[in-house]
Structures are given as structure tokens and as C-alpha cells.
């Protein structure tokens, strides 16, 4: 009898343990009875179920990361690119998720990847390569996240939290053509800038030459005017001086001529003594002074 009582007691303990289950933080649970979902909204804590006939499936409610293999896509002009991306997702509907994947994350990832790839393929096919490489990444990921979230919720009970493109690489043949085109565009731009600079330089030089000619003409005209006024005043002064004392004026002019002729101290003049140029070197010149 003791063995029977012991067996019955052990059975009661096992059934009691089997009737309780714990849901941890970051988890949720499904209650199944003969494979049919009875309840799908368990929160973290201690819960109870019917032993043996009911089973509990624990699900991870945290945001999960799916890092996919790089995929090749074609742009609108049929140029291929390699895209490396990842997806962040979590369970949105426990019951729908279990029905679609049997609660297996690997199966969920395998079914989610094609949905994301199809959305990415559509977005890349509708854009040219330049738009994709330059500034289209954020717009693509936002649109893909919205499309895949709606599809994944409907078919898998999954919420797509984020889709991010880690890297976009061009195949070698595409890279060469892109770099050549970029080089040609930069060379064309540089040539255009040089042509504009040369044209601007020619205009500046022409304007400077014109201003120079105008300034020189104005200065020459003003100098001629000043010289003319000076010559006129000098002539008037000479005439006035000559009229006041012709002899002194002749003597002064002769001294100026002597100074100019013998300025370097090496000049030699061959003249007759009675020459008018030397009249102030003889007695008559002294009498004149």
C-alpha cells in the first residue's frame, strides 16, 4: 500500500507541476489543447493550465534581428547592384504567428525574407542608378518597411519594425561604367569652368586695357595742357624780362648756354674768338655786363 500511496503522491506532484507554468519578461505564451489554440494573450507571470491535455508554447516578444545575405537587384535602366540589408521584427499576433510558423523563428525568417526582397526589388526596379546611389536609400527603406509590415502582419502575424540597407555595391562592370561617366561629367564641368574663367579673364583684361588707354589719354591731355600753360607763362615771363633789360637777358641766356655746354667738364668748342657765343669772355663782354 505504501508503494501505491507513494506512486499516487508522486503522480499528484507531477500533475501539479505540469499544471503551472511561468512566462518571463520579454516573452508571451500560447495555450494549446490537442493542437488547437485556447488562449494567446498571456503576460509575464505565473499561470496555470490543465495537465497533460494542454500544452504551453513560449514565444519571444523582443525585437529580433534578421541579417540577410546580399541580393542582386536591377535598377530602372537594367544595371545590376548588390544590396546588403537587415530587418528588425517582432511578433505582433501570437495566434497568427503560431499558425504560420509553428512558433519557429527560423521558419518565420525564411518566410519573411522573400517578402522583404520582393519589396526591395520593386523599389530598385523603379529608380535609376544615380538616384539609388545619391539620395534614394532612406526613401527606399521607408517604403519597403511600410509594404513589408502590412504583408507580414497579414500573413505571418509579424510586425516589421525596421528595414535598413547596410551597403550598396556595384559589380565591377557597372562600377567601371559609372566611374567613367562620373569622370567624363567632372571633366566636362571642369572644362566649362575653365572656359568661363577664361572668358571672364578676357573681359577683365579688355576692360583694364580700356581703362588704361582712357587714363593715359586723359593724363596726356592734361599734361599737354599743363605744359602748354607753362610754356606760355615762361614765354610771357621771358618776353617781359627781355623787355625790361635786354642786355641782362642776353647775358643770362649766355650763362645758361655756357653751363649746358661745359656741364660734364670735358666739352671742347672750336670757335673764333670774335664769335658772338664768346662775347662775354672778352672785354666787350665785360663792358656789356
Pick one of 3.30.413.10, 3.30.1780.10, 3.30.479.30, 3.30.70.20 as the CATH number of 64-170.
Answer: 3.30.479.30
Residue tagged 658772338 (cell numbers): 276
Three cell numbers at 246? Answer: 635786354
Q: Has this prediction a pTM greater than 0.75?
A: no
Rounded alpha-carbon distances, angstroms, from residue 134 to 74, 89, 138, 207: 16, 28, 11, 43
Name residue 119's beta-bridge partners.
Answer: none
Each residue's pLDDT expressed in tens, for the chain with a length of 289 residues = 667 556 555 555 555 556 778 888 888 888 888 878 888 888 888 887 877 788 888 888 899 999 888 888 888 888 888 888 999 999 999 899 999 998 888 999 999 999 999 999 998 888 887 777 766 678 888 899 999 999 999 999 999 999 998 888 876 666 666 677 778 888 888 999 899 899 898 899 998 988 989 998 989 888 989 888 888 888 787 777 767 767 677 777 777 776 776 666 666 766 666 666 666 666 544 444 4
d(CA 251, CA 279): 10
CA nearest neighbour of 64 among 44, 87, 43 = 87
Element of type H or E holding 193: helix 172-244
Give the start-to-end residue ranges of the domains of the chain. 2-60, 64-170, 178-244, 246-289
Amino acid at each position: 500500500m505504501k508503494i501505491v500511496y507513494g506512486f499516487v503522491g508522486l503522480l499528484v506532484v507531477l500533475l501539479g507541476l505540469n499544471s503551472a507554468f511561468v512566462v518571463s519578461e520579454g516573452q508571451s505564451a500560447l495555450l494549446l489543447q490537442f493542437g488547437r489554440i485556447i488562449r494567446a494573450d498571456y503576460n509575464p507571470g505565473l499561470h496555470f493550465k490543465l495537465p497533460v491535455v494542454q500544452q504551453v508554447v513560449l514565444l519571444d516578444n523582443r525585437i529580433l534581428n534578421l541579417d540577410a545575405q546580399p541580393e542582386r537587384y536591377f535598377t530602372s535602366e537594367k544595371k545590376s547592384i548588390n544590396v546588403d540589408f537587415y530587418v528588425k521584427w517582432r511578433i505582433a499576433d501570437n495566434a497568427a504567428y503560431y499558425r504560420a510558423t509553428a512558433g519557429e523563428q527560423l521558419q518565420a525568417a525564411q518566410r519573411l525574407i522573400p517578402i522583404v526582397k520582393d519589396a526591395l526589388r520593386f523599389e530598385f526596379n523603379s529608380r535609376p542608378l544615380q538616384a539609388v546611389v545619391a539620395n534614394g536609400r532612406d526613401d527606399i527603406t521607408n517604403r519597403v518597411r511600410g509594404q513589408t509590415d502590412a504583408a507580414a502582419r497579414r500573413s505571418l502575424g509579424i510586425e516589421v519594425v525596421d528595414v535598413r540597407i547596410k551597403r550598396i555595391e556595384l559589380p565591377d562592370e557597372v562600377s567601371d561604367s559609372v566611374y567613367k561617366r562620373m569622370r567624363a561629367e567632372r571633366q566636362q564641368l571642369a572644362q566649362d569652368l575653365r572656359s568661363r574663367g577664361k572668358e571672364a579673364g578676357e573681359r577683365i583684361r579688355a576692360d583694364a586695357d580700356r581703362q588704361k588707354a582712357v587714363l593715359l589719354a586723359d593724363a596726356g591731355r592734361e599734361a599737354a595742357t599743363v605744359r602748354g600753360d607753362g610754356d606760355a607763362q615762361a614765354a610771357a615771363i621771358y618776353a617781359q624780362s627781355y623787355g625790361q633789360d635786354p642786355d641782362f637777358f642776353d647775358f643770362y641766356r649766355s650763362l645758361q648756354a655756357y653751363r649746358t655746354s661745359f656741364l660734364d667738364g670735358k666739352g671742347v668748342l672750336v670757335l673764333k674768338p670774335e664769335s658772338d657765343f664768346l662775347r662775354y669772355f672778352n672785354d666787350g663782354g665785360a663792358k656789356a655786363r
